[in-house]
Structure 1
Amino acid sequence: MTQIRFARPEDVSTILRFVRELAEFEREADKVVATEALLHEAMFGERPVAEAVIAEREGEPLGMALFFHNFSTWTGWRGLYLEDLYVTPEARGQGVGAALLRHLAGIAVDRGCTRFEWAVLDWNEKAISFYKAMGAEPMDEWTVNRVSGDALTKLAGRG
């Protein structure tokens, strides 16, 4: 039986391994610059900004969901944003991903969140179908924007 629990500091190396495996799947392995120290600080430091849950069976990690809270000015309430959902290749198709999503939905409800959101790559049709089957509604009218690196420094007027 799959069990889901909140990540602990000793899980950081597993979480980073999962992040790297996810990045490889998403064809962006060279973009991962996170370290165990950075993830530890982000999740367990003085001012945590992210949380994670681990799915495991008999103590063996099968996957994880890393998330944080966002805020909706329209509702006046916080939401839950899923940054990464990852299930190991050998555990896929066994309900682990669905269990992780259901667990996070429960966290969102328990914490009074009015939304549970995430992004998915356009080419990942398997994931898109899975998310739709779980009740997610694609927000086709929205485009995700990002400013990073030199462009971020320039936008901040510091470069």
Structure 2
Amino acid sequence: MKSSTITVRKAAVADSERLWELMRELAIFEKYIDVFAITPEIVKESGFIKSPPDFHCLVAEENRLIVGILVYYFIPYTAQNKPAIYMKELYVDKNYRGKRIGEQLMCVLKKQAEIHNCIQVKWTVAPWNEGGKRFYERLGAIENTEWLNYEWTI
């Protein structure tokens, strides 16, 4: 998918270092850098060498530089007997925001969900991320207030 000079494509193994850089920037932005344990080697192994991979990734490029990423994985089993997609990370380099790159990544993710017969795409947003909430609502997403998120830290 193209818009001006932005191209969205599936990530490749050669992208591992840049994916890691943007994942690290996201960890700083979302204030979990102190527990960020990902390395470029982990990205390469988990996303491209391992079969099936632990995650899938879309990248947005401008002039061959990756400026945005969207990391997701499939939830193969749901009550509706159709898969779902869980979007784990969406991040656009701060120098490239305002070009609708996040929107382009989300549109390609939606197409992936349709191709794979998914019933929905799910994700979480930090409650303090007002810009993120406005962005998703502008795309037509709705906040799910029926379920609360719980977790075990082990």
- Note whether the superposition's TM-score is higher than 0.5: yes
- Do structure 1's residue 53 and structure 2's residue 61 form an aligned pair? no
Aligned to 2:150: 145
Amino acid at match of 2:17: S
Amino acid at match of 2:109: L
- Do structure 1's residue 22 and structure 2's residue 21 form an aligned pair? no
The number of residues matched between the two structures is: 149
Q: Where do 5+ consecutive residues of structure 2 fail to align? A: none
Aligned to 1:154: none
Aligned to 2:131: 126
Structure 2 Cα separation of the partners of residues 88 and 125 of structure 1: 18
C-alpha displacement at 1:31, in angstroms? 1.5
Structure 2 Cα separation of the partners of residues 73 and 82 of structure 1: 16
Structure 2 Cα separation of the partners of residues 29 and 146 of structure 1: 19
Structure 2 Cα separation of the partners of residues 42 and 147 of structure 1: 22
What secondary structure, in the 3-state scheme, does the structure 1 residue paired with 2:98 have? coil
Distance 1:137 1:54, change over 3 A: same
Structure 2 Cα separation of the partners of residues 134 and 118 of structure 1: 14
Structure 1 Cα separation of the partners of residues 148 and 44 of structure 2: 31
Structure 2 Cα separation of the partners of residues 82 and 11 of structure 1: 19
Q: Where do 5+ consecutive residues of structure 1 fail to align? A: 150-159
Structure 2 Cα separation of the partners of residues 15 and 89 of structure 1: 15
- Do structure 1's residue 87 and structure 2's residue 92 form an aligned pair? yes
- Do structure 1's residue 8 and structure 2's residue 8 form an aligned pair? no
Structure 2 Cα separation of the partners of residues 83 and 30 of structure 1: 18
Structure 2 Cα separation of the partners of residues 116 and 73 of structure 1: 12
Structure 1 Cα separation of the partners of residues 63 and 44 of structure 2: 24
TM-score (norm 2): 0.92
TM-score (norm 1): 0.89
- Do structure 1's residue 40 and structure 2's residue 44 form an aligned pair? yes
Cα RMSD over matched residues? 1.1
Structure 1 Cα separation of the partners of residues 62 and 44 of structure 2: 24
Larger Rg: 1
Check whether the contact 2:60–2:67 (CA below 8 A) recurs between aligned residues: yes
Deviating 4+ runs (over 4 angstroms): none
C-alpha displacement at 1:72, in angstroms? 4.6
